Amino acid sequence: MISVAENLRETAGQAEHKAHDLARPGRYAVSAVLAGAYIGVGEVLLLVAVSPFVARHSAAVKLLEGAVFPIALTIVMFAGAQLFTSNVMVMLLGALSGRTGWRDLAASWGLSLGGNFVGAFLFGAMVHASGVLSAPSAKAMLAEMVAGKEALAGGQLFWRSVLCNMLVCLAIWMFYRAKGDVAKLFVLWLPVLVFVAVGFEHCVANMALFSLAILDGTAGFGDLLRNLLFTVPGNIVGGGLLVGGSYWFTGRPETSYE
């Protein structure tokens, strides 16, 4: 495992690569579309695999949800794609380290967020057309999950999204520190398992979930927009400030923290 200071340099280098890729915004946007679709894979797997247990009122539902959804971030990291929630941390570290500019940060965040939405919705449309979520248990679970998110107050959505992206970006930070694919897989899986099982809010996962519900007729675009109004800023605070800002402070060259 590399040190915090070494990982800071490595992550800032990742930000440089992303800033370089912004010179081809079309390609960057397509990569973001892929990331949105990959997150959708996790939501569909969760609905198909876990909904029978929900129908039986199993006590293991939350743990099962947490166990299956991390496949989404695993695909993003090993396949390579521009995910907004991880770009929050990476691009902020690049800007704070002076390796990239604030315009790069804004462009990356904007393109990845927009592309993630397009990818999540397009993947949701293909899933809807396929009929794999037509089982009564899956439809009921989808409606229940969306209704639960709609019932949350704005402050609850915000703080749950802060905590969510703190865990997601912690997973990304540890992924870069770890050596070997098995170790990288393990450190990706655990924090995501926690955020899903506990019920925190990930804006891109919500794009995928609400897209499925919109196409199924159980939610509207207004419901999704209200959710994103609170979850996007919360994810920025959790991943950018709590994780990125903290490790930038502790890992700068003038500190001796390891």
- 73-103 pLDDT per residue, tens: 999 999 999 999 999 999 999 999 999 999 9
Share of the chain above pLDDT 70, in %: 98
> What is the radius of gyration, based on Cα positions, of the chain?
18
Q: Are 166 and 194 in contact (CB under 8 A)?
A: no
Give me the helix-helix angle, 71-79 and 181-198, nearest 10°.
Answer: 140
> Which residue type sits at 50?
V
Q: How confident is the model at residue 252 (pLDDT cuts 50, 70, 90)?
A: confident
Q: Does residue 30 surpass a pLDDT of 80? A: yes
Supply the pTM of this predicted model.
Answer: 0.93
DSSP secondary structure of 31-100: HHHHHHHHHHHHHHHHHHHHHHHHHTT-TTHHHHHHHHTTHHHHHHHHH----HHHHHHHHHHHHHTTSS
In CATH, what number does 4-248 get?
1.20.1080.10
